[in-house]
């Protein structure tokens, strides 16, 4: 898993038409790497020759989203283009509501999953599983900062939640005092004005910027169990061999162990939008 701020190592192997390693006639300047960021901007990291026919570069990530990279080798006899190839940079501000240590204990895998690479892989599955539970239930569970821009003119704004607190409200470029709005956390609605003197946000298109904290301070155990089951099954599906702790179970039993019980499934359905966290 690649997060914002991490360095992505990229490399290319230059070969002749017959498949033999070769150095371009022009040397390093003949090998160019371009990285296209999610916003369309282009980066050209410095390329170095690591060995005969092998070239590498390091790209420092600065934003989340899908990136692509492309190697271009300009050589009269061995010129070639490699790519574009994509890679995804994750937003490191999202913190799953199930921790890595908790997941290792849940899977009885503390002595099985020990390498940095495998721990990172499991951590990535936890992000996916927790995010999937949030999408499925239609609520934010992991506590996170949300930035949203809305049109002015209305008396209130509905915020996807659960909403914990407002960080700031900016109206047409002016930062409002907390006394200039009222937040009803029980339903996730922000009102302009006061409780006794409501008023509308200043009219405009996308002129009201809202920053708030959303999520669940104490996620329900069923939500956490669903996420842990999901991460465990993702892990099992990604390995060439079954989980060592389940080697003595047949396929049907492995599926049953990784699934929810009818009671858990029923509770999970009730925790979707309209229920409680």
> Which pLDDT tens digit goes with each residue over 69-79?
999 998 766 66
**DSSP characters for 23-39?**
--TT-GGGEEEEEE-TT
Question: Above 60 in pLDDT, residue 10?
Answer: yes
Could you give the CA distance from residue 18 to residue 21 in angstroms, rounded to a whole number?
A: 9
Other CB atoms within a 10 A radius of the CB of residue 135 amount to: 9
**C-alpha distances in Å from residue 89, one per residue of 11, 118, 167, 172, 239:** 18, 18, 26, 32, 23
pLDDT value for 273? 57
Could you give the CA distance from residue 65 to residue 40 in angstroms, rounded to a whole number?
A: 11
Could you give the CA distance from residue 240 to residue 132 in angstroms, rounded to a whole number?
A: 24
Domains recognised in the chain with CATH numbers? 2-90 (2.60.40.10), 100-139+219-270 (no CATH), 144-214 (no CATH)
pLDDT value for 262? 65
Question: Above 50 in pLDDT, residue 107?
Answer: yes
Could you give the CA distance from residue 96 to residue 230 in angstroms, rounded to a whole number?
A: 13
pLDDT value for 132? 87
**C-alpha distances in Å from residue 186, one per residue of 28, 194, 223:** 61, 17, 20
248-258 tens-digit pLDDT: 444 344 434 44
pLDDT value for 252? 42
pLDDT value for 119? 94
Percent residues over pLDDT 90 in the chain: 61
31-70 tens-digit pLDDT: 999 999 999 999 999 999 999 999 999 999 999 999 999 9
**C-alpha distances in Å from residue 87, one per residue of 9, 26, 171:** 11, 29, 37
Could you give the CA distance from residue 2 to residue 90 in angstroms, rounded to a whole number?
A: 6
pLDDT value for 15? 86
Could you give the CA distance from residue 10 to residue 144 in angstroms, rounded to a whole number?
A: 32
Kindly state the average pLDDT of the residues 9-21.
88
pLDDT value for 20? 87
Contact 169, 176 (CB under 8 A): yes
Question: Above 80 in pLDDT, residue 222?
Answer: yes
Provide the mean pLDDT of the chain: 87
Question: Above 90 in pLDDT, residue 265?
Answer: no
pLDDT value for 236? 85
How wide is the angle at C-alpha 40 spanned by C-alphas 39 and 44, nearest 5°?
Answer: 115
Question: Above 70 in pLDDT, residue 261?
Answer: no
Q: How confident is the model at residue 189 (pLDDT cuts 50, 70, 90)?
A: very high
Could you give the CA distance from residue 276 to residue 167 in angstroms, rounded to a whole number?
A: 24
Contact 98, 129 (CB under 8 A): yes
pLDDT value for 246? 46
Kindly state the average pLDDT of the residues 14-20.
84
Question: Above 70 in pLDDT, residue 217?
Answer: yes
pLDDT value for 211? 97
Could you give the CA distance from residue 172 to residue 66 in angstroms, rounded to a whole number?
A: 32
Could you give the CA distance from residue 229 to residue 226 in angstroms, rounded to a whole number?
A: 5
Kindly state the average pLDDT of the residues 176-205.
95
């Amino acid at each position: 898993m690649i997060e914002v701020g991490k360095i992505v190592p990229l490399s290319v192997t230059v070969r002749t038409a017959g498949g033999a390693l070769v150095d371009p006639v022009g040397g390093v300047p003949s090998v160019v790497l371009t990285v296209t960021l999610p916003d369309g901007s282009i980066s050209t990291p410095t390329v170095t020759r690591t060995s005969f026919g092998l070239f590498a570069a390091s790209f420092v990530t600065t934003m989340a989203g899908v990136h692509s990279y492309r190697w271009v080798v300009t050589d009269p006899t061995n010129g070639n283009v490699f790519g574009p190839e994509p890679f995804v940079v994750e937003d490191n501000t999202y913190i799953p509501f199930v921790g890595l240590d908790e997941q290792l204990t849940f899977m009885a895998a503390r002595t099985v999953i020990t390498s940095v690479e495998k721990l990172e892989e499991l951590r990535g599955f936890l992000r996916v599983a927790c995010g999937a539970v949030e999408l499925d239930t239609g609520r934010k569970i992991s506590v996170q900062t949300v930035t949203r821009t809305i049109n002015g003119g209305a008396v209130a704004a509905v915020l996807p939640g659960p909403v914990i607190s407002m960080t700031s409200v900016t109206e047409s470029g002016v930062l409002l005092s907390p006394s200039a709005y009222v937040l009803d956390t029980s339903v996730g609605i922000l009102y302009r004005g006061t409780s006794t003197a409501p008023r509308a946000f200043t009219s405009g298109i996308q002129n009201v910027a809202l920053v708030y904290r959303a999520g669940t301070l104490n996620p329900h155990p069923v939500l956490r169990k669903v996420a842990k089951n999901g991460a465990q099954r993702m892990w099992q599906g990604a390995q060439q061999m079954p989980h060592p702790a389940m080697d003595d179970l047949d396929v049907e039993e492995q599926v049953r162990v990784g699934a929810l019980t009818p009671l858990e499934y029923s509770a999970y359905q009730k925790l979707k939008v309209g229920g409680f966290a």
